[in-house]
Homo-oligomer: A and B are copies of this chain.
Amino acid sequence: MNNKLIKNSQVFKAFCDENRLQILKLLQSGEKCACVLLEKLSIGQSTLSHHMKILVQSGVVVPRNEGKWTYYSISEQGAQAAKDLLDKLTIVKPGKSGKSGKSGKQGKSTCK
């Protein structure tokens, strides 16, 4: 239960850091090698590795290994999953719309 909420929050952490957004922006033009990303990001190599791990764990980015290089790209499937989750988290269920609780007027000494 609670675990699910924590897992969901993990997905969005991918988008909660300036450098990770920058990385995503770079990946929007196609797959990139880690070393290419490193060139453009004024952060250290270990820090990049850390951010890529978070992006991959969120499912939004997928790695591809080729020899000694690792290429990263945006997973359209993972991105869609994030969008679906966002929908799920923000959809307002029908029925209980508009003002709070029941529709009748209540006293001034209760918030219900």
Within 8 A of B (CB), among A35-52: 35-36
Residue pair A15, B69 in contact (C-beta under 8 Å): no
Is the CB of A104 closer than 8 A to any CB of chain B?
Answer: no
Q: How far is the CA of A87 from the CA of B77 in the complex (A)?
A: 12
Could you tell me which A residues sit within 8 Å of B by CB distance?
2, 5-6, 8-9, 11-13, 15-18, 20-22, 24-25, 27-33, 35-36, 60, 67, 69, 71, 73-74, 76, 79, 82-83, 86-87, 89-93, 95-101, 108, 111-112
Name the 7 nearest CB pairs between A and B, nearest first: A30-B96, A79-B90, A33-B111, A12-B15, A31-B100, A69-B111, A5-B21
